Amino acid sequence: MPVPDKWKAWLKPTIPAGIMLVAMTAYPWPWWGRMILGAVAWASIVWAQQRVERVAERKLLVREAETVLRWLSRLRHDWLNEIQVLLGYCSMNKTDRVRPHLLRLAKEMEQERTLSQISHPLLAVALIQLRHHAPGWRWQIEFHMETSNLSAQQGYDAAVYVENLAKCLTTVTAVAPEDVSVRMVFDWDGDTLLISLTSQLPLADAVEKARVQSGLQDGTETKRNGENEWIIRFLNRSKTGKAWLM
C-alpha cells in the first residue's frame, strides 16, 4: 500500500531522529553516550520540523501564485469583453453609448477601490470578485458599519458566504445580465453581523444553498424581509464557542 505524500513529507525528515532513538534503546550506552545520542536526536527533530515548515511554506506560495494567475486571467478576460463592447458601439456608430459605458466602468472601479480598504482582506477580495463572478450585473455594496469591529471569525464567515452566494445566484437566474441588480448592505445588530440582500432574482434557494455550501448552517440565520429582500445574520461564533477559524 503506497504511503500518502503528506506522510512522506513527515517521515523522510524524521528518519535520522528515529535512528538515534532506536540506537539509544537497543544498546546499553553509558550515560554520556545517551546524552550525545539524545542531543543528536533532539537536533534532528528540530531540523525535521523546520524542513517540513519550509516545504509547507513553499507549497503555500505556489498555491497563492496559482490563485493570482487565475485572478489575472479572469481580469484580462473581463477587460477584453469590455473593450469588445466599446469597439462594437464604435463600429455601429453608436458613440453616444460609449460615454455611459465608460462612466459605469469608472463607477465600478471606484467601488472596488473602496472595497479594497476593508480591514478584512478575505472579505474585501470576495466582494471585489462579485463583479467578475457575474459580469454585467449591477452590484451595489454598502457598509453602514465600521468593518474594523468585525471579529476575524465573522469576516471569514462573511467572505466564504459571499463567494458561494455569487456562485449560487448565477445558477438560479435566466435574466439577462444587464437587467440584474443586486444590493448588499452590511450592518450591525449588537455583536451580530447582518447582510441585507435585495434583488429581483429568486433569492430564497440561493440564500439557503450558499449557507449549506459554506458550512454555516449553525453560524448563520436567514429571514425574509419583504418580497425581494433577505436578511442573513452572522453570529459571533468566537463568543458562542462554535468558532472554527483557527
CATH T-level topology, domain 106-246: Heat Shock Protein 90 (3.30.565)
Give the domain ranges of the chain: 1-93, 106-246
245 phi/psi in degrees, rounded to 5: -90, 120
Q: What is the pLDDT of residues 93-133, one digit of tens each?
A: 988 989 988 998 888 888 888 888 888 888 898 898 888 77
Nearest-angstrom CA–CA distance, 219 and 223: 14
Residue 138 is which amino acid? R
Q: What is the pLDDT of residue 175?
A: 57
* 8 A C-beta contact, residue 237 and residue 243: yes
- Would you call 41 helix, strand, or coil by DSSP? helix
Helices (H), the chain: 5-26, 31-91, 98-115, 121-128, 130-133, 152-172, 203-214, 237-240
The pairing of strands 229-234 and 220-224 is antiparallel
Give the residue with greater pLDDT, 31 vs 169: 169
Radius of gyration of the chain (CA): 26
**Is the pLDDT confidence value at 10 over 70?**
no
Please state the pTM of the whole predicted model. Answer: 0.68
Task: State how far the alpha carbon of 72 is from the alpha carbons of 58, 77, 78, in Å.
Answer: 21, 9, 10
* 8 A C-beta contact, residue 244 and residue 237: yes
How many Å separate Cα 55 from the centre of its chain? 23
β-pair partners for 196 = 185, 231
